[in-house]
Amino acid sequence: MRLTADMQRVVREQALGFVATVRADGTPSLSPKGTTTVWDDEHLAFLHLHSEGTVANLESNPRAEVNVVDPIRRKGYRFAGRAEVMTSGPCFEEALARFARERGTDGRSVKAVVLIEVTDAQKLVSPAYDNGSTEAQISARFFARHRRLYEAAFGGHAGGASGSSRRGGYEISTDRTRLDIDVVHDFLRRAYWSRGIPLETVKRAIAHSLCFGLYAPGGKQVGFARVVTDGAVIAYIGDVFVLPEHRGRGLGVWLIESVLSHADLQALRRVELATADAHELYARFGFRAFRHPERQLVIERSPEELYGD
């Protein structure tokens, strides 16, 4: 069979396959291979560096399965096929050259190259999607989980001391001291949901919120979002914006991804927001209308009532 473009992408991105073989006594064997890669449209390959058991199993029974899974998206593939163990010849030499070029592998450490002709492939999708969660939601959830594990193991913050991340020259930071309050206030006092809001009210809201500042190359603030949460059960996302001259670059999507992946906002029972014109943006993250609107009650005052005309 031929490997699809998505299959090849997953294998190349992850570069880690769990290879299942059968021992001589018929018992199963599973071993991770950090050199797993795509050889061509019909084959996978990995190197024998310290894989004596796996190689011995394949030499007596060439049948193998390889599982490659993206631990953040929680999706991947199960490949089945027949393996060939090579210790010399043109294909072996080509593999040494390719791994040296692409990964910097020292050929002197390679004892054999294992080539697997893929005869069947099945998609793997985590049951985490069974409740209707989107890929963006699942990715945010498990990215945050891995980040917490990293921080617990090595200390500090995986995104930097200030809780920041960068993309295309832009930066998102949760460092409240970096916020340009005038930029935030100038936008919010004109926004339909907070028209006329006083500067002191914005300052008070920021002081009691988890805030996300979006910064352009050079450091100028060009976007914002904040979250009000107890960090355990519920969160409300509000005051989300990207300045008009910086829209159309995926920054709004990235901003919401950053909010939803924050370590303090995981495993909450409810995350809420309100919007008049960005339903499509939020829908891709799994937001939808209340399932039981008849149960929802709110005390609501318009900006005009609070701040005047």
Do 5-125 and 131-307 fold alike per CATH? no
Amino acid sitting at position 197: I
Residue 133's pLDDT is what?
Answer: 84
Residue 94's φ and ψ, nearest 5 degrees, are -65, -40
Q: Is 124 left (phi over 0), alpha (psi -120 to 50) or beta?
A: beta
pTM for the structure as a whole: 0.58
Q: Are 45 and 39 a contacting pair, CB within 8 Å?
A: yes
Give the three-class secondary structure for 169.
Answer: coil
Question: Considering just the CA atoms, what is the radius of gyration of the chain in Å?
Answer: 26
Name the nearest CA neighbour of 114 among 43, 163, 162, 216: 43
What secondary structure does DSSP assign to 36-64, as a single string?
Answer: -EEEETTEEEEEESS-HHHHHHHHH--EE
Q: Are 137 and 284 a contacting pair, CB within 8 Å?
A: no
Class of domain 131-307: alpha beta
- Cα-based angle 123, 17, 266 (whole degrees, multiple of 5): 70
Cα 38 to its chain centre, rounded Å, is 22
Q: What is the CATH number of domain 5-125?
A: 2.30.110.10
Residue ranges covered by each domain of the chain:
5-125, 131-307
- Give strand ranges (E) for the chain: 17-22, 28-33, 37-40, 43-48, 63-70, 75-86, 112-125, 164-167, 170-173, 210-215, 221-229, 234-242, 270-272
Task: Encode pLDDT of 146-193 as tens digits.
Answer: 877 776 776 654 443 346 788 889 999 999 999 999 999 999 999 999
Q: Is 242 left (phi over 0), alpha (psi -120 to 50) or beta?
A: beta
Residue 135's pLDDT is what?
Answer: 87
Euclidean distance between CA atoms 282 and 259, whole angstroms: 12
Question: Which regions in the chain score pLDDT beneath 70?
Answer: 151, 154-163, 309
Name the nearest CA neighbour of 47 among 16, 79, 2, 8: 16
Euclidean distance between CA atoms 304 and 309, whole angstroms: 5
Task: Encode pLDDT of 2-26 as tens digits.
Answer: 999 999 999 999 999 999 999 999 9
Euclidean distance between CA atoms 306 and 261, whole angstroms: 33
